[in-house]
Amino acid sequence: MILKWIKRLLPTGQDREKEREQLQAITHRAFLAIERYSECSEEIKSKIEQNHIARHLIYDKGGSAEHAHN
C-alpha cells in the first residue's frame, strides 16, 4: 500500500519528458531575448556613432552619485 502511494508521487516518464520540454522552451526563450537585446544594443551603439551624439551622453558609474561626461 505505501509502495503504491510512493510510486504515485514519483514523476513518470511522461512527467519527466514534459519537464524537459518546458526547460528547453524556457532556455530557448531566454536565448532569443538575449540575442534580441544584443542586436538592439549594437544598433543603438551604431546610431550613436553615426550621429556623433556620444559627447552628449551622461553615463552613471556603477550606481555612485558621480557622473562622467564623454
User: In what helix (H) or strand (E) does residue 34 lie, and over which residues does it extend?
Assistant: helix 13-51
Set of cell numbers at residue 51:
550621429
Say yes or no to pLDDT of 70 above 50.
no
pLDDT of residue 23: 95
Question: Which three cell numbers, joined as nine digits, stand for 27?
Answer: 532556455
Cα→Cα distances 39→24, 28, 52, 62, 70, Å: 22, 16, 20, 23, 23
Q: What is the pLDDT of residues 21-62, one digit of tens each?
A: 999 999 999 999 999 999 999 988 888 888 887 777 766 666
In sequence order, the 6+-apart residues with CB closer than 8 A to the CB of 19 are 11
What pLDDT was estimated at residue 61? Answer: 65
What is the structure's pLDDT at 47?
86
